[in-house]
């Protein structure tokens, strides 16, 4: 219990620092901004479009799946727990009778599970119009290792999504306007890539490992767009973050604190992701999130990209390392 309280105290300190300190991330260049009051109600019809949402049984993923289904999309919730999947589907159908939504088992910490889902979807779908890389874990109290031998936050938040996107790329390329949305976090601002110890084997730091995983997600989203442009894949890749939102990602003992009341609802936190996934004005390679105090909450807009995420050499190195670790390889040529 003492370790859990100490862990939450450290989290509160980190969040408080974000709220009370000046932002040190680099600014964005001038570019068309989203309408600040854009909401899920402004989504164009998604009828006939097919989406996969990882971690769609709770939090931002569930709100994203709910809104997409309400807009007419076929939604595949990919997550670990079938019971929670059925509960999520029942809730969505209660709100949107006749919603076209189903569950597929996926453990992002197990590459065999990732590839199995890719194979099932390749055999059952005509194409894929959108992939929302949403699932994640945050700051476990001890260093957890996945079946493939990777630190759990790096594996689940980042590497599993890197591999899943590669597996689903052929289906995405069959769409007339495919999008991949990858969720990062305001924690990425303080993140760094520890290439000499990506799995934190030498010195375990749960917060640093989380920040690394979310920085990697942001760098992946940007690098995917660069490679899509260079190779002619036709993919629009966008990053988003939900600010500070009330989701199951955070420890339960912190939900009665004053800081918890400051957090956005999960429904509001899903707005940047939904904008990135559906809005006609959303642009590839961009990063969307709240624009209030230190981007913790507030109106939709361009999120600040940390300096570390703009390092093209590091992004290319991360990509190469990720292919080696995951065993997946993205195509090097254009589509026929």
Active site residues: 210
Task: Check the CA dihedral 313-135-29-190 and report its sign.
Answer: negative
Supply φ then ψ for residue 36, to 5 degrees.
-60, -30
Compute the distance between CA of residue 334 and CA of residue 316 in angstroms, rounded to an integer. Answer: 19
Q: How many CA atoms lie within 13 A of 149 on its CB side?
A: 2
The DSSP letter of residue 37 is T
Say if residues 285 and 318 touch (Cβ distance below 8 Å): no
> At residue 231, what are phi and psi to the nearest 5 degrees?
-100, -5
SS (H, E, C) 179-210: EEEEECCHHHHHCCCCCCCCCCCCCCCHHHHH
Helix (H, G, I), strand (E, B) or coil at 133: strand
Token pair 């949402």 in the structure block, residue: 53
217: nearest Cα among 301, 139, 306 = 306
Here the tokens at position 217 are 């997600």
């Amino acid at each position: 219990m003492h370790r859990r309280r100490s862990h939450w105290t450290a989290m509160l300190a980190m969040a408080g620092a974000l709220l009370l300190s000046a932002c040190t991330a680099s600014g964005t260049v001038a570019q068309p901004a989203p309408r600040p009051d854009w909401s899920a109600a402004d989504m164009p019809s998604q009828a006939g479009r097919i989406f996969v949402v990882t971690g769609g049984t709770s939090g931002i993923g569930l709100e994203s799946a709910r809104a997409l289904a309400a807009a007419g999309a076929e939604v595949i919730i990919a997550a670990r727990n079938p019971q929670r999947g059925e509960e999520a589907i029942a809730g969505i159908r209660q709100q949107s009778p006749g919603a076209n939504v189903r569950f597929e088992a996926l453990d992002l910490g197990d590459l065999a599970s990732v590839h199995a889902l890719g194979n099932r979807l390749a055999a059952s779908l005509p194409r894929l119009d959108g992939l929302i890389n949403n699932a994640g874990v945050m700051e476990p109290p001890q260093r957890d290792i996945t079946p493939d031998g990777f630190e759990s936050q790096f594996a689940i938040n980042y590497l599993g999504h890197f591999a899943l996107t590669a597996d689903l790329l052929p289906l995405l390329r069959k769409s007339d306007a495919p999008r991949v949305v990858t969720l990062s976090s305001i924690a990425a601002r303080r993140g760094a890539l520890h290439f000499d110890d990506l799995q934190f084997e030498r010195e375990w730091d749960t917060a640093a490992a989380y920040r690394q995983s979310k920085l990697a997600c942001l760098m992946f989203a940007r690098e995917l767009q660069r490679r899509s442009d260079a190779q002619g894949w036709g993919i629009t890749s966008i990053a988003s973050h939900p600010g500070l939102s009330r989701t199951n990602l955070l420890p339960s003992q912190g939900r009665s604190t004053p800081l918890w009341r400051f957090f956005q609802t999960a429904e509001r936190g899903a707005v940047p992701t939904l904008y990135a996934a559906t809005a006609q004005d959303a642009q590839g390679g961009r990063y969307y999130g709240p624009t209030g105090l230190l981007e913790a909450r507030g109106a939709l807009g361009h999120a600040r990209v940390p300096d570390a995420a703009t390092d093209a050499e590091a992004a290319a190195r991360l990509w190469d390392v990720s292919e080696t670790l995951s065993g997946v390889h993205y195509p090097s040529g254009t589509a026929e």
